[in-house]
Amino acid sequence: MALQNDSLIRALLKQPVNRTPVWMMRQAGRYLPEYRKVRAQAGSFMNLCTNPELACEVTLQPLERFDFDAAILFSDILTIPDAMGLGLSFVEGEGPRFARPIASATDVKQLPIPDPTIELQYVTDAVSLIRRELGGRVPLIGFSGSPWTLATYMVEGGSSKTFKKVKALMYEQPQLMHQLLEKITRSVELYLNAQIAAGAQVIMLFDTWGGVLSTEAYQAFSLDYAKQIVANLETESSDQRVPTVLFSKGGGQWLELMAGAGFDGLGLDWQTDIGQARARVGNRVALQGNMDPMVLYASPEVITDEVKRVLDKFGREPGHVFNLGHGVLPDINPEHVKAMVDAVHKYSRVP
Amino acid sequence: MALQNDSLIRALLKQPVNRTPVWMMRQAGRYLPEYRKVRAQAGSFMNLCTNPELACEVTLQPLERFDFDAAILFSDILTIPDAMGLGLSFVEGEGPRFARPIASATDVKQLPIPDPTIELQYVTDAVSLIRRELGGRVPLIGFSGSPWTLATYMVEGGSSKTFKKVKALMYEQPQLMHQLLEKITRSVELYLNAQIAAGAQVIMLFDTWGGVLSTEAYQAFSLDYAKQIVANLETESSDQRVPTVLFSKGGGQWLELMAGAGFDGLGLDWQTDIGQARARVGNRVALQGNMDPMVLYASPEVITDEVKRVLDKFGREPGHVFNLGHGVLPDINPEHVKAMVDAVHKYSRVP
């Protein structure tokens, strides 16, 4: 079935579009009252992730309200370590926790590589269901956390401010760290290929914590594994090419390195100037971003001005996907999101 | 009195040195048992900051243990907003809190500009005392938080993960934000000039939260005020020129902008490659940094290797001050700090 709106895919492949496509990180989420209702019904966040019908429902919710040019699978980046048996739970207000974090060479050795068609079938089922329910309106984005980002949670046992356990491991036992990252990398490859097989039409790799590394460590412990993943994705096998996007939050200094990693697009955080970014990477890759999510606290007039500024900086040539520089915050007024989406379409339209 | 060891000042002025000077952010702090003893004796963190004798004692402690090339005034970046009457307290394990944060135009209008010789006399007294006790061994660094960084705490009422209050103010009422920053800027100028008058021999401006801004906002709301401050510092009035350093954490993308701001040196976080940084800014400014503080969890051998890597990347030409890319963590083994300091001196020594 042909897509009715393929502007996201076209933009990521640097093809001309009638108007700049826009979607939003965490667009299916807590800022929507209809999401909070389903979340309450599910009982827990993981119940919501692991129930394909409910995951499908919340994935589609933002498309009912806003003129987004993509849906993104509702899931969590920590499904893989959970499937590896680390025992994921979410403590209200404190974020994710693993009951059995990685602490030793034995832990790494014993870590299984999950079969996504078994341990993560709830994800591929959700992908298939969402594709069916979308009916070709807009493309569906599948995703995974990057190996480095997953490793931070797996070693720290949850969120961290300093990343001291995972960095101590990296600096003190680099070979063991690489063994861990290789296992995660293989798991991510299988997982993303399963999402593509189930119908994901765009793939995002979220390297949320790449930016806490030194330049050298970023290359060796994050980017090299992202490269390996994108090289092993089956992006050509379906009827339509599946574009890929890498987002290393805090990685604005490394765009030149990232542009050569094999992804079609790069996500930009809001700290990076998108005009300067484009000047640096040329048209080697598409760019996705990058309004400061905090702008959405301001009035629709301010939001519209900021949207124009981002569009102007990029320059309205092929290869731009509008997004926030990070996920939308839970207390944002949905009307402000509407103001952003509508401004992107209005001011980017080719006459 | 001439300095017995002026390598920090020479390096910041890009003059040749026999070995690369080294100091460490938070070198007087919780990782030292002798600090924890004085801190306990003081009763509270603010008692320690406001008592010149105790502040002097903890400032000098790390020099007894390690061959540091500088002392840095023991104080807090929030002394100015406290002197403005915002009511600073430190909640154990939660960081700073202001009883009366800035929330309105009236709050900004009523905000006083503290006279540092009165409301902040405990700081200038500490500076004079430390200078006397140092007896010219190494230079004394004075410091302040940057206006933007102070504003984040003053508007948020404490630490923040998202900076949503201060950013909402910035995006929605930029003129009011500028009025607030102007008052803080004037206060910082007076405060730093008072520190220089009392004997501070190097000045650091800590822009801890500049890196949470977009490039445009960084220039308008952080860097422009830093420029104004450095232009108004009395760095030439004493017998020895007082070099200045700007450290915008997370600002690695903006080094070219920062290099033209009027500071003698720039602090680098660990994410920035110091070799690439030097290639970008040339010899317009000295560079200070930038080992990942987490390397200090690793063994002395690993620490030594990382020290060499940083020295090699910079290239051992004039204009390098060795430091961590951020403050030392409280649970670091002091022996590991010694390994770092000694490695810097050993491997940077000019034969």
- Tokens linked to B344: 């810097």
What is d(CA B178, CA B252) in angstroms, rounded to the nearest whole number? 24
Average the pLDDT over A103-108 and give the result. Answer: 98
pLDDT at A240: 87
pLDDT at A1: 64
pLDDT at B1: 64
Whether A30 sits among the annotated catalytic residues: the reply is yes
Q: Which residue among A171, A250, A272 places its CB closest to the CB of B294? A: A171
Catalytic residue among A10, A19, A35, A153: A153
> Is there a contact between B215 and A272 if contact means CB atoms under 8 Å apart?
yes
Q: Does B271 touch chain A (CB under 8 A)?
A: yes
Whether B137 sits among the annotated catalytic residues: the reply is no
In whole angstroms, how far apart are CA B304 and each of A137, A190, A299?
57, 39, 52
Whether B30 sits among the annotated catalytic residues: the reply is yes
> Is there a contact between A309 and B216 if contact means CB atoms under 8 Å apart?
yes
Average pLDDT, chain B: 96
pLDDT at B339: 98
Q: Does B209 touch chain A (CB under 8 A)?
A: no
What is d(CA A213, CA B318) in angstroms, rounded to the nearest whole number? 27
Q: How close does chain A come to B216, measured CA to CA in Å?
A: 8
Q: Which residues of chain A neighbour B289 with C-beta distances below 8 Å?
A: none
Q: Which residue among B171, B216, B306 places its CB closest to the CB of A297? A: B171
Low-confidence ranges of chain B (pLDDT < 70): 1, 238
What is the complex's ipTM, to 2 decimals?
0.94
Catalytic residue among A10, A19, A39, A131: A39
Window 305-344 of A: residues touching B by CB (8 A cutoff) are 306, 309, 325, 329
Catalytic residue among B31, B35, B153, B218: B153
pLDDT one-digit tens code per residue, A58-102 = 999 999 999 999 999 999 999 999 999 999 998 877 889 999 999
| Beta partners for residue A320, in sequence order | A287
Best A280, A291, A294 member to test B by mutation, with max B CBs in 10 Å, is: A294
Q: How close does chain A come to B296, measured CA to CA in Å?
A: 9
Q: Which residue among B214, B253, B294 places its CB closest to the CB of A168? A: B294
Amino acid in position B248: S
> Is there a contact between A164 and B212 if contact means CB atoms under 8 Å apart?
no
Distance, CA of A162 to chain centre: 22
Q: Which residue among B253, B272, B298 places its CB closest to the CB of A271? A: B253
Nearest CA in chain A to B218: A271
Q: Which residue among B164, B171, B325 places its CB closest to the CB of A329? A: B164
pLDDT at B150: 98
pLDDT at B309: 97
Window 65-84 of B: residues touching A by CB (8 A cutoff) are none
Average the pLDDT over A229-256 and give the result. Answer: 94
Q: Which residues of chain A neighbour B256 with C-beta distances below 8 Å?
A: none
What count of other Cβ atoms lies within 10 Å of the Cβ of residue B113? 19
Catalytic residue among B10, B39, B131, B278: B39
Best B169, B212, B214, B295 member to test A by mutation, with max A CBs in 10 Å, is: B214
> Is there a contact between A271 and B295 if contact means CB atoms under 8 Å apart?
no
Amino acid in position A251: G
Whether A218 sits among the annotated catalytic residues: the reply is no
pLDDT at B351: 72
What DSSP element (H or E) covers B206? strand B202-207
pLDDT at A316: 79
Q: DSSP string covering A301-351, please?
A: HHHHHHHHHHHHHHTS-SSEEB-BSSPPPTT--HHHHHHHHHHHHHHH---
Q: Which residue among B172, B273, B299 places its CB closest to the CB of A298? A: B172
Three-state SS for B293?
Answer: helix
Catalytic residue among A6, A76, A264, A269: A76
Q: Are the CB atoms for B272 and B252 separated by under 8 Å?
A: yes
Best A26, A215, A218, A326 member to test B by mutation, with max B CBs in 10 Å, is: A215
Q: Are the CB atoms for B256 and B297 separated by under 8 Å?
A: no
Residue where the block lists tokens 């080719």: A350
Helices (H) and strands (E) in chain B, counts: 16, 9
Q: Does B163 touch chain A (CB under 8 A)?
A: yes
pLDDT one-digit tens code per residue, B140-181 = 999 999 999 999 999 999 999 999 999 999 999 999 999 999
pLDDT at B113: 98
pLDDT at B316: 79
- In chain B the first and final C-alpha atoms are separated, in Å, by 28
Whether this model's pTM surpasses 0.90: yes
> Is there a contact between B214 and A273 if contact means CB atoms under 8 Å apart?
yes
* Strand pairing class (B88-91; B95-98): antiparallel
What is d(CA A32, CA B121) in angstroms, rounded to the nearest whole number? 51
Q: Which residues of chain B neighbour A273 with C-beta distances below 8 Å?
A: 214-216, 253
> Is there a contact between A298 and B171 if contact means CB atoms under 8 Å apart?
yes
Q: Does B212 touch chain A (CB under 8 A)?
A: yes
Nearest CA in chain A to B292: A214
Q: Does B252 touch chain A (CB under 8 A)?
A: yes
Q: DSSP string covering A53-88, please?
A: HHHHHHHHHHHHHS--S-EE----TTHHHIIIII-E
Nearest CA in chain B to A166: B294
Best A30, A171, A172, A302 member to test B by mutation, with max B CBs in 10 Å, is: A171
pLDDT at B94: 81
Average the pLDDT over A290-310 and give the result. Answer: 97
Q: Which residues of chain B neighbour A215 with C-beta distances below 8 Å?
A: 271-273, 276
Whether A39 sits among the annotated catalytic residues: the reply is yes
Catalytic residue among A6, A10, A19, A26: A26
pLDDT one-digit tens code per residue, A122-169 = 999 999 999 999 999 999 999 999 999 999 999 999 999 999 999 999
pLDDT at A2: 84
> Is there a contact between B271 and A250 if contact means CB atoms under 8 Å apart?
yes
> Is there a contact between B309 and A216 if contact means CB atoms under 8 Å apart?
yes
Q: Which residues of chain A neighbour B212 with C-beta distances below 8 Å?
A: 271
Three-state SS for B169?
Answer: helix
